[in-house]
Structures are given as C-alpha cells and as structure tokens.
Amino acid sequence: MKFDKIELRNAFGLFATGVTIITANPAGYKPFGVTVNSFSSLSLDPPLLLWSLQKDADTWDALEATTRFAVNILALDQQDMSNHYAKEGDHALAADEYKMGVSGCAILKHCIASFECDTGERYEGGDHIIMLGKVLAISCNEPEAPLVFQCGQYRSLS
C-alpha cells in the first residue's frame, strides 16, 4: 500500500492527544522547555512513562545532557505557553513559569500535573527519538480541563 507523508500525518492527527511540555535543567544550560504531544504512561511497576521528539529538534543537545526531566501536562488555558515552546528558538523558561521539584527538576507552576523522572533508555524510532523516564515524583494540581490537540488545532473536551 502506498500513501504519502501528508496523508499519514493527517491520519495520525485524527487521534486527540493531551499536550505536555518537557522541562529540564541540565548542567551548563538554563532551565528550558519543549512542547510534546507524544506522551504516554508505560508501566506502573516500575513507574515508567515515554515521550518522543524529532531527531532534528533544536533542544536535543540539552536533552542529551540531562539525567532528569519533567513531563508537565498542560491545562486548557496554557495554549500560549504550548505555542511558545513548540517553536524553534529560545526555549529558556521564564523565572515566573517554574519552580524546582523535589528531585531537582524544573517543573511548571500552573500545569495540571508534573512527573519528575530519571532519564531512562533512548530508542530510535524513524525520524524521532523515544525517551523513557523512570518516575521519581508526581505533583498534581486541582483538576482542570486539559489542553487537547487534534487535526492540527487545539480543542477542548466540552
């Protein structure tokens, strides 16, 4: 069967996903974030999660240098933040956007939940790298409507 990349991307885009920002603060770098919607829980025992990012992402050097990262689940009102950290360019976190978590990871202040992780295995997956994280700590805020992405645009669950 033949199909082109645009057709495949559009079909993948039919699947609604939550939106996350991966944050990290490796030695030699300012705390930074990058928007990712390819996040999934993986295992309860041991506690593992995974996410992926394009190999040519401008944040890969910093991500490869980190031993810990956090996955921050965004709320519906954080669309502007998602857009900012999805673009190439400056990914440094503003001082008022984050706090230090119990494991020393930079975590976003106003997200729905954060998972602080040790960096686990990395796997090549075509044009992406799949990152595993061993969950060290979780932070949950009051439940809010999540930011959802489908068919190339943000959506709400209502």
pLDDT tens, position by position, 22-75: 999 988 889 999 999 899 999 999 999 999 999 999 888 888 888 999 999 999
Q: Residue 11, SS3?
A: helix
E strands present in the chain: 17-18, 20-24, 32-36, 39-43, 48-54, 68-73, 98-100, 106-108, 113-125, 128-140, 148-150, 153-155
Give the domains, in start order, of the chain with CATH numbers.
5-155 (2.30.110.10)
Q: pLDDT tens across 79-105, in order? A: 999 999 999 988 999 999 999 999 999
pLDDT band of residue 17 (cuts 50, 70, 90) is very high
Q: Do 16 and 146 meet the contact criterion of CB atoms below 8 Å apart?
A: no
Q: pLDDT (tens digit, 9 = 90+) per residue, 112-125?
A: 999 999 999 999 99
Residue type, 85: Y
